[in-house]
Structure 1
Amino acid sequence: MAVTTEKESEAEVQPMGESPQYFLGDPESQQQLDFTVVSVRQGFIRKVYSILMVQLLITSGFIAGFLFDRDLRLWVRRNALFVLGACILSFCLTLAMVCCDRARRKFPLNFILLFLFTVIESFLVGAVSSFYQAESVLLAAGITVVICFSLTVFAFQTKIDFTGWGPYLFVSTIVLFLFGIAAALLSSILPVMHTLYACLGALLFSVYLIYDTQLIIGGKHKNSISPEEYTFAALTLYIDIINIFLKILVATGKKRD
């Protein structure tokens, strides 16, 4: 049984045998709620970026291995079917984590799937990097670091809300996919199409990085990711960064002889 005053929006509620609770209209209650929400979101952000750092370290290790181990580079060229299988498996793992709530939220399943995806994706990124000169890969990595850091700071500081851009980004992704097919078919006639596709891809995933970062930040933005979705949040940022790196590498890199 609870006792309330006439103005319920400002009343103190005292359930029997429980600690005091307050309506949101009460200043003390609102302050406590705001602090709790902010604390949860900050913990979520720290967890996401910690996971992301581990993912990027794993990927960096694979890239270094493929760049400086000649046997690995030769193995990739002789085992194209294995690389194709890794691509299919990576796609399936991504689909599972995007479409299945249990796969994203249930521990330790979410970490197992994310770890498997990271290892497979790191292998694929390393395989692609093996076709380019080491200097080009390092340059692309440096440019990616600068771009991603700048965009992350921008996403945290700007008053522009990108979280409502989801439908536009989805349509842009489809358009880019179709343009990629056209570029592949016409690359022998118009080599510039391949470079243009890579530049447009880097631009699109740069916007995706801002969009996903603001979803993670939450706060006053229109949309946000639930704190339970920390592995999914890390996955989205990782995919954005990897795609930016690969597009920059394709656009600026020099291939090995």
Structure 2
Amino acid sequence: MWNQQPFLKPDLESGSYEPLYPIMSESPELRWSFIRKIYSIVAVQLLLTAAVGAIVITYDPIVTFLTTTNGGFACYILLIIAPFITLCPLSYYYQRHPVNYLLLGIFTISLAFAVGLTCAFTSGKVILEAVILTAVVVVSLTLFTFWAAKRGYDFNFLGPFLFGAVMVLVVFSFIQVFFPLGKTSVMIYGGLSALVFCGYIVYDTDNLIKRYTYDEYIWAAVALYLDIINLFISLLTILQAADN
């Protein structure tokens, strides 16, 4: 347990001491170290996703095999459900090194294949636009959340609303599978989905700053990574529908 008396960091300009966020009861150096660790893991995940996605997009036999053969279709289904399957053992081994990193790698690579297959049927211009928009939004919301946390704002109340919104999106996506909707409906779905995952970026970043414990770095990284990937897919959906 950390000392309940707040550890303060010096403000060199004013000569006073102030915490990383209000009512902080731990060393800012330790929390910053934890935050840097999470963003380092997420950065590696995103780079791995970009690399795997680029291979899937540029190497045509992969897409051809996965979309035109019976064995490929089975592999495609496996790649889609693999991230969810991997989360089960990850929930048990998330504190055990290096098993947790191995499972996280499997989770990331399998999800990267799914993202790559989605991008394989999209023009390069649309993909680049989605990447730029995602980067701008993620950086902006991250900076805003750190600024807000410094001033005492708390976004924990967003949890139930965001969970309910995700359930609506899941049901809506199933409806689209069985009853395909038009271009306008797809764009509306993409826009709502993007707003929801913007909210999740703020919510999970706030949890990263205040609530995640030091042995939950895997879950913190998974949460932020999923927020970013889902935001990218949502923006890609909007831009792809507008481009058609």
Q: Normalised by the size of structure 2, how large is the TM-score?
A: 0.82
Partner of 1:10: none
RMSD over equivalenced CA pairs, Å:
2.5
SS in 1 for 2:94: helix
In structure 1, give the amino acid aligned to 2:144.
F
Contact 1:56–1:238 (CA under 8 A) maintained in structure 2: yes
For residue 255 of structure 1, report the CA deviation from its aligned partner: 11
Counterpart code for 1:179: F
Does the Cα contact within 8 Å between 1:184 and 1:194 map onto a contact in 2? Answer: no
Measure how far apart 1:35 and its partner are. 8.6
SS in 2 for 1:163: coil
Residue equivalent to 2:154: 161
Deviations along 1:62-92, one digit per CA (max 9) or x if unpaired, are: 1211222222332232222211111122111
Checking the alignment, whether the CA contact within 8 Å between 1:140 and 1:248 is kept in structure 2 is yes
Task: Give the alignment partner of residue 143 of structure 1, picking from 133, 153, 159.
Answer: 133
Give the corresponding residue for 2:191: 199
CA contact (8 A) 2:186 2:241 kept: no
What is the count of residue pairs matched by the alignment? 222
**TM-fit CA distance, 1:181:** 2.4
Partner of 1:19: none
| CA-CA distance at 1:165 after TM superposition | 1.8
Match of 1:40 in 2: 30
Partners of 1:204 and 1:137 in 2: how far apart? 20
Q: Contact 1:59–1:122 (CA<8 Å) still a contact in 2?
A: yes
Residue of 197, 207, 211 corresponding to 2:203 = 211
Instruction: List aligned pairs for 1:236-247, cutoff 5 A.
Output: 236-247=223-234
Is the 1:133–1:254 Cα contact (8 Å) retained in structure 2?
no
TM-score by length of 1: 0.78
Letter in 2 for 1:245: F
Identical-residue share of aligned pairs (%):
30
Give the distance between the partners of 1:181 and 1:155, measured in 2 at CA: 32
1:227 matched residue in structure 2: 214
Q: Distance in 2 between matches of 1:170 and 1:35?
A: 29
Deviations 1:189-223 (A, max 9, x none): x33222211111111011001100110111xxxxx
Aligned to 1:180: 173
Q: Match for residue 237 of structure 2?
A: 250
Deviation of 1:110 after TM superposition, in Å, equals: 1.2
> In the alignment, does 2:72 pair up with 1:88?
no
Deviation per CA, 1:42-80, whole angstroms, max 9, x where unpaired? 110011001111000000111211222222332232222
Say yes or no: does 1:108 pair with 2:95: no
Structure 2 CA distance for aligned equivalents of residues 217 and 133 of structure 1: 37
- Structure 1 counterpart SS, 2:230: helix
Contact 1:163–1:214 (CA<8 Å) still a contact in 2?
yes
Q: Which runs of 5+ in 2 are unaligned?
A: 10-23
Q: Hey, which bits of structure 1, 4+ residues long, moved more than 3 A?
A: 29-36, 183-186, 254-257
- For structure 1, the residue ranges without an aligned partner over 5 or more in a row are 1-22, 219-223
Hey, what's the Cα distance between the residues in 1 that align with 2:209 and 2:94? 19
CA–CA distance in structure 2, aligned partners of residues 77 and 140 of structure 1: 24
- What is the rounded CA distance, in whole Å, between the counterparts of 1:234 and 1:200 in structure 2? 24
Cα distance, 1:164 vs structure 2 = 2.7
Structure 1 residues 32 and 211, CA gap change in structure 2 (3 angstroms): closer
Counterpart Cα distance in 1 of 2:164 and 2:99:
31
